[in-house]
């Protein structure tokens, strides 16, 4: 069941003060999954960025007391509690459905935004007329080997400096959307706000997407290898299901036969992304054992999704 924490306490945060002054112009939806280590620092910055005209909605699916820490630190924060096991896109969906602001930003409690993050996103959205814009994701200093592996697999394409490409894909963990651009796509996010599919539909409509180079968030890590493996497997299953649904049986067979090659292909893409930014693989070598396991989990999940579809929970609305 969904729970919304009390938002009328005497110690209401800046976030709550802005909501009391009038309807928020932007909702920042922060997904949290086992983020008790990073939640305080992450929310402090997101609340500051939202300021008087925005709101922060924490959507939590943790078992480690993340939501309780957030409630204690930010008494006026709006918190939606969800069953453990949910993935970030499912939590973003729930936050989007709970908001009515004309602009909606998405991130996670493993991120800390740079000062001026939201202003940079909004400025880019206004200057480009895009339906959605995103920003870079940098690694925090002194990440663990596991967190560095997660960064390489998930975020290395958003490491600064960003390459100049015609087909920009804003990252799900650092993006701002116009709500009116999403009208008519509600059925697309019933199973979760999976940004790749949303972006494909937006482009099919003729909408543009953009990137704000100064709208940086920093990945703090904090999760264990077991959680990362489960998340990568389940994300890959959704990805495989989306691709498999557009394939013939023969194409699915060919894709499955090539599955053992996926880890090598992804490592090649990761090293190419680092090289494109003038970075070598040397400083990342400690991450390779964990990265190998994550890549194997991804390959297995993608193959399963290609044939069996997404996890059952992804087919229902929370």
Task: List the chain domain ranges.
Answer: 224-305
User: Strand 54-60 vs strand 26-32: parallel, antiparallel, or unpaired?
Assistant: parallel
Q: What is the pLDDT of residue 5?
A: 41
Helix (H) or strand (E) holding 104: strand 103-108
Q: Has residue 6 got a pLDDT over 50?
A: no
* Contact (CB, 8 A) for 102 and 71: no
Token pair 């290395």 in the structure block, residue? 156
Q: How far apart are CA 209 and CA 216, in angstroms?
A: 17
**What's residue 261's pLDDT?**
82
Give me the pLDDT at residue 167, please.
65
Query: For 111-144, how does the pLDDT look when each residue is reduced to its tens digit (9 = 90+)?
Result: 999 999 999 999 999 999 999 999 999 999 999 9
What is the rounded distance in angstroms from the CA atom of residue 221 to the CA atom of residue 143?
7
| Largest Cα–Cα separation, the chain | 62
Check whether 99 has a pLDDT greater than 70.
Answer: yes
**pTM above 0.85?**
yes
Q: What is the pLDDT of residues 180-222, one digit of tens each?
A: 999 999 999 999 999 999 999 999 999 999 999 999 999 999 9
Alpha helices in the chain (DSSP H): 14-21, 39-50, 66-73, 88-98, 117-128, 145-154, 179-182, 195-204, 225-244, 249-257, 262-276, 288-308
Q: How confident is the model at residue 311 (pLDDT cuts 50, 70, 90)?
A: confident
Question: Percent of the chain at pLDDT above 70?
Answer: 90
Q: What digits encode the pLDDT tens for the residues 82-96?
A: 999 999 999 999 999
pLDDT number for residue 156: 96
The C-alpha angle with vertex 48 and arms to 171 and 44, in degrees rounded to 5, equals 80
Average pLDDT, whole number, for the chain?
89
Show Cβ contacts of residue 267 under 8 Å, excluding neighbours closer than 6 positions. Answer: 291, 295
Whether the pLDDT of residue 246 is over 80: the answer is yes
| pLDDT at 292 exceeding the cut of 80 | yes
What pLDDT sits at residue 2? 32
Mean pLDDT of 38-42: 97
The arithmetic mean of pLDDT across residues 284-297, rounded, is 95
Distance, in Å, from the CA atom of 273 to the CA atom of 137, rounded to the nearest integer, reads: 13
More confident residue, 241 or 202: 202
Given a cut of 70, is residue 40 above it in pLDDT?
yes
């Amino acid at each position: 069941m969904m729970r919304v924490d009390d938002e009328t306490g005497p110690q209401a945060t800046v976030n709550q003060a802005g909501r009391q002054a009038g309807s928020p112009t932007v909702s920042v939806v922060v997904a949290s999954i086992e983020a008790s280590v990073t939640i305080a620092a992450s929310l402090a910055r997101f609340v500051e960025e939202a300021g008087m005209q925005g709101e922060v909605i924490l959507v939590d699916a943790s078992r480690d007391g993340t939501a309780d820490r957030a409630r204690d630190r930010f008494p006026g924060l709006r918190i939606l509690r969800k069953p453990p096991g949910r993935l970030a896109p499912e939590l973003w969906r729930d936050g989007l459905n709970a908001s009515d602001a004309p602009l909606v930003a998405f991130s996670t409690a493993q991120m800390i935004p740079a000062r001026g993050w939201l202003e940079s996103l909004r400025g880019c959205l206004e200057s480009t007329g895009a339906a959605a814009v995103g920003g870079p994701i940098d690694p925090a200093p002194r990440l663990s080997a596991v967190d560095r592996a997660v960064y390489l697999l998930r975020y290395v394409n958003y490491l600064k400096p960003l390459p100049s490409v015609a087909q920009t894909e804003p990252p799900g963990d650092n993006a701002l959307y116009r709500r009116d651009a999403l009208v008519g796509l509600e059925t697309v996010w019933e199973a979760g706000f999976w940004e790749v599919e949303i972006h494909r539909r937006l482009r099919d409509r003729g909408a543009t997407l953009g990137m704000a180079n100064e709208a940086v968030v920093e990945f703090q890590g904090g999760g264990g290898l077991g959680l990362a493996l489960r998340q990568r497997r389940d994300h890959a299953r959704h990805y495989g299901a989306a691709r498999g649904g557009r394939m013939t049986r023969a194409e699915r067979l060919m894709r499955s036969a090539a599955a053992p090659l996926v880890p090598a292909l992804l490592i090649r893409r990761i090293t190419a992304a680092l090289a494109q930014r003038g970075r070598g693989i040397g400083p990342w070598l400690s991450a390779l054992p964990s990265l190998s396991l994550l890549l194997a989990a991804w390959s297995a999940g993608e193959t399963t999704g290609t044939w069996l579809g997404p996890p059952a929970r992804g087919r229902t609305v929370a």
